[in-house]
Amino acid sequence: MQGEPEPISRMEALRGLRISTQEALWATVFVVFTGGAFQIGFARHLGASDFVLGLLAGLPAAVGLLQIPASLYIERRGERRRFVAFSAGAGRLLLATLALVALLPIPNALKLVAFLILLILSSALLTITVPAWTSWMSDLVPGDARGRYFAGRNRLASIVAMLAPLPAAWLLDRLKPEIGFPLLFGLAAIPAGVCFYLILRQPEPPMVREVEKTNPLKSLKAPFANPSFRRFLAFAGTVVVGQSLAGQFFMAWQVDKAGLELPYVVVQLIGAVASAASLATMPLWGYLADKYGGRPVLMIGSWLVLISPILWCFTFPGQNWLNYPLMVTMNIVSGAGWAAVGLTQFNLLLSMTPDDKRGTYVAVFSAFTGIIGGVSPIVGGALMTVFADLRLPFGLNNYKVMFLITDVVRVAALILLHQLKVEDSQTTRFVLGQLVGTGTMGGFRRAQKLAKTTDAEAREETVRELGERKSSLAVEELIEALDDVAHAVRATAARALGEIGDTRAVPSLTAKLFDPAAAVGEEAAHSLGFLGDWSATSALEAAARGPNATVRVAALRALGRLADPSSAPTLIAALNPSRPTRCEAACTALAAIGENLHPKDVAEAQQRLLALLVPDVDQGMRLAAARALEKLASALPNALETVSQKLTEETDPAVLARLAVALSRLVIAHASEPSTHFPFLLSVARRLEGSGLAYLQALYAAADTVLPPGTLYPLLSLKGMARDEALHKLITDKSLLETYSLGHYTELTKRLPYLARLGNPSDDSTAEEALLALLLLSI
């Protein structure tokens, strides 16, 4: 036995992953030339029945049991590279010798037997490499990058799987089977040799092995003693049945004379659609799996693969006008679905296995699924033979019955997956929400771009675009950008997180409130306010009392957007006229809390706000205090008299108008006879006559004490015919309305008690008269 491999550097591991990707591409070429439609076509050429097709699909898979002794051997050997290279190389070359079998001058029945034997031997040699290769790759690929690496690897393989069959299919359609199949299988020896060479060049890190040697039979019990792994095995086994029970007959239905009898080129072109769908979605699946865990992505993929078998039932010989659109649709959906299933199922397997027993777990998994994958096609072939003699309604035949049975099995797999719980995995509903959210694909592309871009200006622009698209798919990338070296990128990321509105950003943004080195506290506070999560209240309160003046003000404004009543003591404490900016921000924040202010905070808030309404306080603070009193009116039953007094003392038109509005709200909320305060408010309006908007605001405030709140507003904002139409709906006294509409304002003034008595209504005054009177005052 050779010595332990030397540890390898990260750069060496990266080189190994690149070689592995190249090897995957050549392996895909080999599989394309020797499998799929070409393998089934060769078997049918040799006279294979449905049952024999089942054997051809099943027996190679059944050799998966060999992985158990292979894993034990690898555990003892402690070396994987040469074992994988020579076993896989021999297995591929064996299958390539089908070229010689096809040329032998013997009956087709004997060729079929030789074909089956070679296929089993080749599959056995390839299968025993799986535990070693899986252990090897799991040591090379970092756990948090498996989704992205294998997605990229599989994506390139999908390109090859999409393009490589086309020239081969063109060749087979133009050559006789006696020539075309031997030539194709002979060409497969080339990618087999390249794979052998690349595997030997790939570096191998030291293998993680059990410190204490255990009985091999006991080590095989460990996977079955793991409840989560048992549930995963049940799900994976059901998936295999859903794939392999009728897997070969999906292809046979396309090429058989009893089926659609399509040319190989058409079959491969339509199959390329599935590869294209896999190619397009693989990066997204890998990205989502790394971010949110493999289970939800696996669930989405399992839903998608339910669609294809049903659509196959609607394809009919000779109706290609219908068949082709259906086949394209089902290949798009199934290509995307199987890409998600294949990628995440493998990653889940790696994540659920302990490092020192990974080979054993993978061997048990592969052996279990191999047995099922071996038996299922054989059962499928037997069922096809049985169903062939049945007369079925609705155009069903044995193929389509198998397709429907397959769909039932896939539903069962979905149910089993739903019962599988995986730690550190988001829910399927959450991931679906990310997929259907605004700008999903654009956000995904920009998130990938952000991860690769090294130019500061380009990163800043990408971050800004993510915020504008409001794509929550990129929240994690934006959170990482909060620690970018460039301040512009950090600040833009903080703002973008607020624009997106995803509360997952709250912990990271709150941390930046107190990070002077990051210098994005202002932007972080701004975003926390827009996120609206009260869990940020305590952090924002602390920031409002912190050492940074800019952050203090931003935190107070953010507390206003949160409008959490528990922050009132902090806001009240900031009502200090010696600090105008903070004071105004605190007034605005208290106004946002409004009637939700806790009773215990009411008295102090009222006292502090009224104390700001004195001539020596800046206008901005007085305006802010007046606005706060307006919003808090329903919570301030004892402020009526004091606010009235402040109105008599105030001289600034803007503050007067705002205080009039505040008094109006206090009257409506607390006065038993609101109309008794109308003369005072009208006198305030008279003081403001000629002050433009301030006068109208005071008039509007007075109106609300004698009319239903808001009645005068539309008439003040409307002009011309629009105002006349609104009046027509409000005034029932047509003579009053006619006099007003004719512009006879002097005559109308004599008829309106409110105007005649300077705002003292008579007992017979009506709301309509009050409305017209106030409207005249606004003209």
Q: How far is residue 79's CA from residue 571's CA, in Å, rounded to a whole number? A: 68
Burial of 48 (0-12, 13-18, 19+ CB in 10 A): buried
Contact 754, 675 (CB under 8 A): no
Any idea where the domains of the chain sit in the sequence?
10-205+216-431, 437-533
Show the tokens assigned to 666.
């206090």
Contact 219, 68 (CB under 8 A): no
Q: How far is residue 656's CA from residue 650's CA, in Å, rounded to a whole number? A: 6
- Pick from 648, 583, 581: which is nearest to 611 by CA? 583
Given this model, what pLDDT does residue 535 score? Answer: 93
Reduced DSSP (H G I as helix, E B as strand, rest coil) percent helix, strand, coil of the chain, to 5? 75, 0, 25
- Pick from 362, 352, 397, 399: which is nearest to 380 by CA? 399
Residue with tokens 């070679």: 118
Given this model, what pLDDT does residue 166 score? Answer: 79
Given this model, what pLDDT does residue 525 score? Answer: 94
Tell me whether domains 10-205+216-431 and 437-533 share a fold: no
Q: How far is residue 157's CA from residue 281's CA, in Å, rounded to a whole number? A: 13
Q: What letter represents residue 598's amino acid?
A: H
For the segment 483-498, what is each residue's pLDDT rounded down to a tens digit?
A: 888 899 899 999 999 9
Residue 495's alpha-carbon distances to 11, 158, 297, 581, in angstroms, are 36, 39, 30, 22
Q: How far is residue 736's CA from residue 732's CA, in Å, rounded to a whole number? A: 9
Show the tokens assigned to 167.
């020239």
Given this model, what pLDDT does residue 528 score? Answer: 94
- Pick from 16, 36, 26: which is nearest to 140 by CA? 16
Burial of 355 (0-12, 13-18, 19+ CB in 10 A): middle
Show the tokens assigned to 92.
């591929």
Show the tokens assigned to 481.
């950008």
DSSP state of 634: G
Rg, C-alpha atoms of the chain: 39
Given this model, what pLDDT does residue 147 score? Answer: 64
Contact 245, 405 (CB under 8 A): yes
Alpha-carbon dihedral 622, 626, 629, 630, rounded to 10 degrees: -170
Three-state secondary-structure class, residue 128:
coil
**CATH of region 437-533, choose from 2.102.10.10, 1.25.10.10, 1.10.260.40, 1.10.10.10:** 1.25.10.10
Given this model, what pLDDT does residue 77 score? Answer: 72
Q: Which long-range contacts (CB under 8 A, 24 or more apart) does 100-109 make?
A: 100/182, 102/42, 102/178, 102/181, 102/182, 102/185, 103/182, 108/45, 108/46, 108/47, 109/46, 109/47
Residue with tokens 């079925």: 392
Q: How far is residue 432's CA from residue 297's CA, in Å, rounded to a whole number? A: 9
- Pick from 569, 583, 570, 581: which is nearest to 613 by CA? 583
Q: How many CB atoms lie within 10 A of CB 69?
A: 14
Given this model, what pLDDT does residue 264 score? Answer: 75
Q: How far is residue 459's CA from residue 104's CA, in Å, rounded to a whole number? A: 64
Cα angle: 384, vertex 388, 391; to 5 degrees = 135
- CATH fold, domain 10-205+216-431, is Growth Hormone; Chain: A; (1.20.1250)
Task: Tell me which residues of the chain have a pLDDT lower than 50.
Answer: 1-3, 211-212, 756-764
DSSP state of 207: P
Q: Compute the Cα dihedral for 206, 209, 213, 217 and give only its sign.
A: negative
Three-state secondary-structure class, residue 759:
coil
Show the tokens assigned to 354.
């302990």
Q: How far is residue 288's CA from residue 682's CA, in Å, rounded to a whole number? A: 64
Q: How far is residue 361's CA from residue 9's CA, in Å, rounded to a whole number? A: 27
Given this model, what pLDDT does residue 573 score? Answer: 92
